[in-house]
Amino acid sequence: MNALILAAGDGTRIKSVVPKILLPLCGVPLIQRTILTLKDAGITDMIVIVGFKKDVVKNYLEDGSKYGVKISYATNGDYERENATSILKAEKMVDEKFLLVMGDHIFTPNIIKCILSVKGDLVIATDSNPRYIDVGEATKIFIDADEIKDIGKDLTEFNAVDTGIFLCSKQIFPVITQCLKDGKEEWSDSIKKYIENHKVVSYDVSASFWLDVDTEEDLKKAETLLLGSLTKPGDGYISRNLNRKISTKISKHLVKTGITPNQLTLISFMIALISATSFSFGGYIYVAVGGVSAQLASILDGCDGEIARLKFLQTSYGSWLDACLDRYADFLIILGMTYGYWIIHKEVLIWLIGFICLAGTFMIAYAPTRYKEAFNENWRTRSKRIPIGRDVRLFIIFLGGISNQILYSLILLAILANLEALMRLIHHRKDSKN
């Protein structure tokens, strides 16, 4: 199945020298987002309808191979007319069934995967509870029992809006041709006509994120929403309430640069190295700098993943490298703290505590990933757990550093991490999948 992307319009409501669909959102032009989102959903064959400044668009996207997809083009010289004229240009190029999406809409791969699973010759992804768009401007839809009964911008009775994502069959083209003859050039006019003789299915995606970018305000809103979506379900308390708030602000600027996620992983590791070195000198100022830079490394540790997700740069290697370097960073910081305390106090006990702390820290990371390997399913936490993820650990180290209480922060870490590790071994003993 191929996908048809409408990108011919002149986007007059945004003032810009480049076509609207080439405006960057979190570092990635709108149409490139559409293409990469479709690719994430498994669609790799695409037709882009160009019109306004078509050569600029074609020069930017080329044949799609740099995105790992195949892009063909059709041109709509009448791009100032409504969008049904664009769709018709692709009549000979689309497959028997094809996806139709708008080049200036933001949506998740999940919406595409879902609509592909719905049966019907015309399926429209609808939103019964639109949160992020101006409903007044939207194409309204009246649905009765999953079937679309009416559609139009001026509908007074409606219970959803269209999201600009459609699963079509070639049966639609004769209807479009007829509508254009009748002077009805909106895509929704063709759907309205099609409804008269065919069943049109609605698929509600109100739980998913999508957005229609028409104005500069929309673009800003989209940026805010994308940045806000970066908090992960597994984020710990400090991450959710402190680190993410700062890291997303940093990422907002970093997306505009060419810095890669793996480079950020290395930078975060370097800062951890600075923290470890500073701690190892032992004096109060050094220890305070060590604590602050540990927390800084913790914050920056979020940015690599954020940039990767915002710019479609997530790789398996990146996530693995990040995890492995996090372990080494933890090790170095604990070693630095231990050594720094030792050279001041010369108490051998600190080495013992440092050792135990290091073991617990590793086990907190090792146990869940090894669990996934053994059980072939995600780590579930049955019990109330001690929240001792990396965000919390580095925050304890930060507090220990600025308050010059290295001994107590290491003892606290050693106890909490090992206690949690031990509790996990006991609590999961009934997970008996063979």
CB of 390 to a second copy, least distance (A): 14
Complex with a second copy: residue 259 or 335, whichever CB lies closer: 335
Complex with a second copy: residue 354 or 400, whichever CB lies closer: 354
CB of 270 to a second copy, least distance (A): 15
CB of 382 to a second copy, least distance (A): 13
CB of 39 to a second copy, least distance (A): 9
One-letter identity of residue 81 = R
Complex with a second copy: residue 13 or 370, whichever CB lies closer: 370
380-385 long-range contacts (CB < 8 A, ≥24 apart) are: 380/431, 382/427, 382/428, 383/423, 383/427, 385/420, 385/423, 385/424
Complex with a second copy: residue 27 or 130, whichever CB lies closer: 27
Complex with a second copy: residue 182 or 347, whichever CB lies closer: 347
Give, to the nearest 10 degrees, the angle between helix 30-40 and helix 109-116: 50
One-letter identity of residue 329 = A
CB of 309 to a second copy, least distance (A): 12
Complex with a second copy: residue 142 or 379, whichever CB lies closer: 379
Complex with a second copy: residue 101 or 414, whichever CB lies closer: 414
Q: Answer yes or no: are the C-beta atoms of 73 and 47 closer than 8 Å.
A: yes
CB of 380 to a second copy, least distance (A): 12
CB of 317 to a second copy, least distance (A): 5
Complex with a second copy: residue 22 or 364, whichever CB lies closer: 364
* Residue 240: both structure tokens together: 């959710």
Residues of this chain that bind a second copy (CB under 8 A): 314-317, 319-321, 323-325, 327-328, 331, 335, 338-339, 342, 348, 351-352, 354-356, 358-359, 362-363, 365-367, 369-376, 421, 425, 428-434
Complex with a second copy: residue 143 or 365, whichever CB lies closer: 365
CB of 376 to a second copy, least distance (A): 8
CB of 236 to a second copy, least distance (A): 18
CB of 422 to a second copy, least distance (A): 9
Complex with a second copy: residue 137 or 347, whichever CB lies closer: 347
Q: What is the 3-state secondary structure (H, E, C) of the chain?
A: CEEEEEECCCCCCCCCCCCHHHCEECCEEHHHHHHHHHHHCCCCEEEEEEECEHHHHHHHHCCCHHHCCEEEEEECCCCCCCCHHHHHCCCCCCCCEEEEEECCEEECHHHHHHHHCCCCCEEEEEECCCCCCCHHHCCEEEEECCEEEEEECCCCCCCEEEEEEEEEECCHHHHHHHHHHCCCCCHHHHHHHHHHHCCCEEEECCCCCEEECCCHHHHHHHHHHHHHCCCCCCCCHHHHHHHHHHHHHHHHHHCCCCCCHHHHHHHHHHHHHHHHHHHHHCCHHHHHHHHHHHHHHHHHHHHHHHHHHHCCCCCHHHHHHHHHHHHHHHHHHHHHHHHHHHHHHCCCHHHHHHHHHHHHHHHHHHHHHHHHHHHCCCCCCCCCCCCCCHHHHHHHHHHHHHCCCHHHHHHHHHHHHHHHHHHHHHHHHHCCCC
